[in-house]
Amino acid sequence: MSNLYPFSAIVGQDEMKLALTISAVDPSVGGVLILGERGTGKSTAIRALAALLPSMKAVSGCRYNCDPAADRALCAPECRERRAARPDEVIDAPIPVVDLPLGATEDRVVGALDLERALNRGEKRFEPGLLARAHRGFLYIDEVNLLEDHLVDLLLDVVASGENVVEREGLSVRHAARIVLVGSGNPEEGELRPQLLDRFGLSVEVVTPRDLKGRVEVVRRRDTFERDRAGFIEAWSDSELTLRETIVRARRKLLEVGLPDAAVERAAELCLALGTDGLRGELTLIRAARALAALDGKADVDDDLIRRVAPLALRHRLRRDPLDDVSSTVRVERVLSDIFPS
């Protein structure tokens, strides 16, 4: 993790950085989907996110990332037995950012019978999968549009229910899996299913910078990084630290941010005008605006904040006419300028 490209060293791409920062402040916003052309730094930004996350309280030795304060009913049998035997030893652990690599098979995603134990000792033991590892954290899917359909179904189910239910090889395991999906993909290589699209709280469309100066800066920084990773990371450690502290502070302040009725009405008005389906859009919009307020040190959610996060929270929820020439971003902008006359 320590030799990753620093988040704050990414040139431009402000919208992408804003979306990721918001999801780091309030994971309940529901993850980020980053779509864009090749070579725009999508994966770099997401992998760099891990370094900005604060730590969380975890139970030492727990293979399911259990929350010491959580409801015990949702823990795997293993955790309930352990708790019955001895009190939890609480430690600080990094919030997990787990990669779902291409070619991952279902048994590794949901977990399966531990083959080693079974063959060597005849013991029936569950080997938790990536979902358990990503519990209370982020699951990163690169090239999300190349994901096999049956894995997509499975993820949708787990993300919606917050728990992973495994019934296979005579094992019956159920454990909490509250996971924020972060995905990246290139729309040229296949479309995303609308159901999956909807599971991402925020979405960003990234494009390559077109101006020479910006492009040169990107190439220069990357080159400097490749030659001397440690030195580059050291050089950016101050700004990384500042950003991390901002995020930690915002997380603490999140619950203090006021939500005036006017702001809620604004959000509803906006969603109505755009014709977004369901309540998810409104909820995400408000949560994202609140996270941004906490980041900016504002006391209340206001029009300006809503306006800034609206494209992120809503553009992938418009009823799709996928062939409409007008991009969703433009549609959101139009409605925004109607509702918030400047």
Residues forming the site for other proteins (CB under 8 A):
37-41, 43, 99-109, 112-116, 118-120, 122-124, 127, 129-130, 142-143, 145-146, 148-150, 169-170, 186-191, 193-194, 208-213, 215-220, 222-223, 226-227, 320-323
Smallest separation, CB 224 to other proteins (Å): 11
Smallest separation, CB 15 to other proteins (Å): 16
Place of tokens 């101006």: 211
Task: Please name the helix (run of DSSP H) or strand (run of DSSP E) that holds residue 196, with its range, or none.
Answer: helix 194-199
Question: Sign of dihedral through CA atoms 88, 91, 56, 166?
Answer: negative
The CA distance from 179 to 167, in Å, is 20
Smallest separation, CB 341 to other proteins (Å): 26
The CA distance from 306 to 148, in Å, is 35
- Report whether 179 contacts 158 (CB < 8 A): yes
Nearest Cα residue to 134 out of 92, 103, 91, 163:
163
Instruction: State CA 37 to chain mean position distance.
Output: 20
Smallest separation, CB 276 to other proteins (Å): 17
Query: Between residues 152 and 263, which has the closer beta carbon with respect to other proteins?
Result: 152
Query: Between residues 67 and 142, which has the closer beta carbon with respect to other proteins?
Result: 142
Query: Between residues 219 and 241, which has the closer beta carbon with respect to other proteins?
Result: 219
Pull the structure tokens for residue 94.
Answer: 């990094």
Q: Which residues of 291-312 are buried (b: 16+ CB within 10 A; e: fewer)?
A: bbbbbeebeebbeebbbbbbbb
Query: Between residues 235 and 248, which has the closer beta carbon with respect to other proteins?
Result: 235
- Report whether 23 contacts 285 (CB < 8 A): no
The CA distance from 288 to 211, in Å, is 30
Query: Between residues 166 and 285, which has the closer beta carbon with respect to other proteins?
Result: 166
Question: Sign of dihedral through CA atoms 127, 152, 166, 23?
Answer: positive
Is position 280 annotated as part of the catalytic site? yes
Smallest separation, CB 326 to other proteins (Å): 13
Nearest Cα residue to 164 out of 154, 155, 152, 177:
177
Smallest separation, CB 244 to other proteins (Å): 23
- Give me the catalytic one of 220, 280, 331, 334: 280
Question: Under 8 Å CB-to-CB from 38, ≥6 apart: which residues?
Answer: 186
Query: Between residues 104 and 259, which has the closer beta carbon with respect to other proteins?
Result: 104
Coil, strand or helix at 46:
helix
Pull the structure tokens for residue 337.
Answer: 């300028």
Positions marked active-site: 280
